[in-house]
Structure 1
Amino acid sequence: METARNIVGFLVCLGIAFILAYLISGSGGIFIGLLLIMASLISLILLFVSYATTEVSLSLPGDIVNKGDDFTARLDFNKKTILPSTFIDVSLKVTPNIQGEDSSLYYRVMCSGMHGECIEIPMKAVLCGGGEISVEKITFTDHMGMFRRTKKDLPAKCLIKIIPHIPDTGSQTDVLRSVSQNISFDDSDEESDETSSALTGVPGYEHRAYLPGDPLKRVNWKLSSKKDQLMVRLDEKVTSSSQIFRLDLPMNLSPDLISYQMMDISIEGSLAMLSMLIRSGYESEYNYFIEGKWEMADVSDEATLVQLQERLAGIVPYPKENRSPDHDINEKGKSMICFTACTGTMTNELAELTDSFDGLLVIVKESGIGALRNDMWTVSREFEFEKMV
């Protein structure tokens, strides 16, 4: 529309010049008309020169940031001629987990210096996971605003990894009990009437009331429910079983802020649960799809949890054909827990997921999904876990 208005304005001025030449001064009107035509030709030539000799590049100072941090993207305009460039319009595009200070992400520049120009663009990492910043369109417009050329070869997109937080949720007894029942001691072991099986020779285990600081992996949940108080076993036998995690991040056909929020809560919710299990003395195996393959991380302490946290900074939603793990992650009777970023509109994805594993399913509370099975939990934005009924 702007180009059309400029062309109409130019034609009106040209028409006025010829009217002037016809009615008032022939030489003066013709001179003005020729000046307008020459100006348009020079403007058109400079447009082609700028298009051919100006290169645009996009860069970032680094490829990894913490969630919530500010960073800067840089647009560089490099010239190969001393002539000033025409107007250059650049439109950027970012994934929903990145927010620009200028919401339009549209910039116009004219390179008058010999070495070109640069623009620094403030950005913020608002949600975790892999993010992209790309140049969507580059348009060269002549000085008179009548002609345009769009660049076909765009700069390479920039990838950035946004590190998720590990929320400190305290100890949420209900969800820990549900998760740990399958990986703690066999709850069929009753409390021994003897003070020590070693002294009496009678099989059994000594128990006492739970005290703050006792590892939850030693809680005998069956006995605790009978006595209506937490009871812990005092023997030294520790189970070798571990909790198996699976992270499910289905790709949305039209990625938007909501789908990235679901992914963000699912990732940080799983890290919150891993942190709770570590403090309770449990080890876990964490399965996720990244960089074209399924990976498994052993999480046994704070150091390995931080390593996983940094690795998940580059994770992106999974293509449909890669949602199912390519290896058996539910072998040897180990318990399973799956965090999914599915929403209520993803009926097919939900059906595929619920049919593909046995275990506990955790969804985002705001996902719009109802109770589909008995072993379902929700995680809120505050990372509070609640069993669905």
Structure 2
Amino acid sequence: MVMVYMFLFSPLVSIILISPLRKRIITSVDVPAYEVEKGGVVRVNVRLENKSFMPIPFINIEFTQPVNFRLSGTYNHITSLGPFEKKVVTMEYTAKSRGVGEVGVSGIWLKDYINIFRIPLSINDDEEKVTGEVTVLPRLVSLKPTSSILLGSSESFKQEDSDTANMNLFSWNGEPGYEFREYMPGDSLHKVHWKLSARNETLMVRKDEGGGLSKKRLFLDSYIKPVQKKQDIKTFYQILFGFSPKNKEKNFSNMEDDILMLEEKTLEALIAVANTSVKTGSEVELWLYENEDWNKYGITDSKTINDIQYRLASYKFSNISNLDSSKRLPLNEIAEDEGKSRYLKGTQSMVFTGNLDNALYKAVESFADYGVIVDVVSIKSVSSGKVNNEEKIANLRGDSWVLGTDEDISEVFS
């Protein structure tokens, strides 16, 4: 009989013993709020202090679970504190995809001795935030200055040669010729400015006398083929059995991951080319299809590279399959823009795509009809093992690169 009473009253006794300890536990959370590149790590530190002589059996910490971060441990963490003990619990968040994620703590609870009840604990004196927004930027990959993708295709150089022949010295590539950059492997030594090099103690060449083209025009193809769900099979299972087959849901999740990896690799390849081109003295302009319109962004230094990383962190690709060619490449906008520009040719144009379909192929060919050769960087999924319209890549007039989502960008572009 005594055992029965003990069993019945044990929860009440447990909660009575633990309740006074609530105000004897000091908690605080160090919350990050900044940007990190994909693959980077941010840490959330939870500081606990027991100011009583009674041991604390269970403290339950729940961490947030942003979809674009991977946690180093379980989000639902259980710890304990001895008499007058201090402890720091750290959770690492590894950025796995671009976008904004909320990292931190969703709550901290004190649990009783038999682990039935829990009492919420105040955090940071209820004055400071316990979560922070962290922006995951597309990863910035370094390329060698001598990478083939930075040198321009032979067709692009033919454009530059034919165009330069018609220019006089006062319209030399649209630049006065007095801007300089550091010497890069592949530059001709007879183009070195020796007096300036002696003053700077490093070899300097004129900005418009590098080994590659003086201007690069980069396009981002906004179309990514959407995930195709087999609704008929799913609906059939739901009607008969009231649930969807697990393997179908798993396959669909894998397809979504493939789409995400295509987007991430496409952006990483684009930023890598833009960043290294700027470092080697090239002028870069980036064309993005946003809000039903094409927008042009000039990239000139590391600050504008960082600005583009921020913009692409929240860039939304389109899954509308019937996008016409004007929404895949900005031919009309380029024609209008170049009418105001002194750069008519001599520009390396390049499109980065995760779906080289017939519409994009025709758009690239349309540029060629106007005398503008567009090189193509096509990203292929690991699961598919091939790129769309692979046979047409060989027929493109410009150069082309095929990059797998699991391949190293610097090696493929070397």
TM-score normalised to the size of structure 2?
0.51
Is 1:370 the equivalent of 2:387? yes
Asked if the contact 2:31/2:131 (under 8 Å) is kept, the reply is: no
SS of match in other structure, 1:169? coil
- Segments of 5+ residues of structure 2 without an aligned counterpart are 122-128, 170-184, 189-207, 228-251, 339-347, 365-373
> How far, CA to CA, are the matches of 1:111 and 1:283 in structure 2?
59
**1:42 equivalent in structure 2:** 13
> How far, CA to CA, are the matches of 1:371 and 1:146 in structure 2?
57
- Segments of 5+ residues of structure 1 without an aligned counterpart are 1-17, 19-28, 199-210, 215-233, 343-349
Deviation of 1:318 after TM superposition, in Å, equals: 2.1
Is 1:297 the equivalent of 2:302? no
> How far, CA to CA, are the matches of 1:62 and 1:55 in structure 2?
23
> How far, CA to CA, are the matches of 1:115 and 1:352 in structure 2?
66
**2:352 equivalent in structure 1:** 339
Asked if the contact 2:62/2:75 (under 8 Å) is kept, the reply is: yes
Deviation of 1:107 after TM superposition, in Å, equals: 0.8
Matched ranges for 1:1-389 at <5 A: 18=1, 29=2, 32-44=3-15, 59-65=30-36, 69-75=40-46, 87-92=58-63, 94=65, 98-102=69-73, 104-110=74-80, 119-125=89-95, 130-133=100-103, 141-146=111-116, 157-163=131-137, 164-173=139-148, 176-178=151-153, 181=156, 185=160, 187=162, 212-213=186-187, 243-246=217-220, 248=222, 254=253, 261-278=261-278, 281-287=281-287, 296-300=296-300, 302-304=301-303, 306-308=305-307, 311=310, 315-316=313-314, 318=316, 320=318, 329-330=330-331, 331-333=333-335, 337-340=350-353, 354=360, 358=364, 360-367=375-382, 368=384, 369-372=386-389, 373-374=392-393, 375=396, 377-379=401-403, 380-385=407-412
> How far, CA to CA, are the matches of 1:321 and 1:157 in structure 2?
32
CA deviations on 1:289-328 (whole Å, 9 max, x unpaired) are: 899x99753113x43554346536x704626489989999
| Pair 1:259–1:82, CA change in 2 (3 A) | farther
**Amino acid across the alignment from 2:270:** S
**2:238 equivalent in structure 1:** none
SS of match in other structure, 1:71? strand
SS of match in other structure, 2:410? coil
Asked if the contact 1:336/1:360 (under 8 Å) is kept, the reply is: yes
Deviation of 1:123 after TM superposition, in Å, equals: 4.0
CA deviations on 1:134-153 (whole Å, 9 max, x unpaired) are: 657877754213457999xx
| Pair 1:268–1:83, CA change in 2 (3 A) | same
| Pair 1:77–1:177, CA change in 2 (3 A) | same
**Amino acid across the alignment from 2:132:** C
Deviation of 1:39 after TM superposition, in Å, equals: 2.0
> How far, CA to CA, are the matches of 1:355 and 1:48 in structure 2?
70
**Amino acid across the alignment from 1:268:** E
> How far, CA to CA, are the matches of 1:270 and 1:287 in structure 2?
11
Asked if the contact 1:167/1:271 (under 8 Å) is kept, the reply is: no
| Pair 1:179–1:157, CA change in 2 (3 A) | farther
> How far, CA to CA, are the matches of 2:271 and 2:315 in structure 1?
17
**Amino acid across the alignment from 1:338:** V
Equivalent residue pairs, number: 306
> How far, CA to CA, are the matches of 1:108 and 1:243 in structure 2?
53
**Amino acid across the alignment from 1:363:** S
> How far, CA to CA, are the matches of 1:356 and 1:42 in structure 2?
77
Deviation of 1:64 after TM superposition, in Å, equals: 2.4
> How far, CA to CA, are the matches of 2:317 and 2:130 in structure 1?
22
SS of match in other structure, 2:135? strand
Q: Rg bigger for which structure? A: 1
Deviation of 1:378 after TM superposition, in Å, equals: 1.7
| Pair 1:133–1:261, CA change in 2 (3 A) | farther
> How far, CA to CA, are the matches of 2:363 and 2:109 in structure 1?
50
Asked if the contact 1:183/1:243 (under 8 Å) is kept, the reply is: no
> How far, CA to CA, are the matches of 1:352 and 1:54 in structure 2?
65
> How far, CA to CA, are the matches of 2:258 and 2:21 in structure 1?
41
**Amino acid across the alignment from 1:60:** V
Asked if the contact 1:249/1:318 (under 8 Å) is kept, the reply is: no
Asked if the contact 1:73/1:121 (under 8 Å) is kept, the reply is: yes
> How far, CA to CA, are the matches of 2:19 and 2:79 in structure 1?
16
Deviation of 1:159 after TM superposition, in Å, equals: 2.5
| Pair 1:212–1:145, CA change in 2 (3 A) | closer
| Pair 1:274–1:319, CA change in 2 (3 A) | closer
CA deviations on 1:105-125 (whole Å, 9 max, x unpaired) are: 431135778999752223444
SS of match in other structure, 1:311? helix
Moved more, 170-179 or 82-91: 82-91
Deviation of 1:101 after TM superposition, in Å, equals: 3.6
**2:242 equivalent in structure 1:** none
Deviation of 1:246 after TM superposition, in Å, equals: 1.9
| Identical residues among aligned pairs (%) | 14
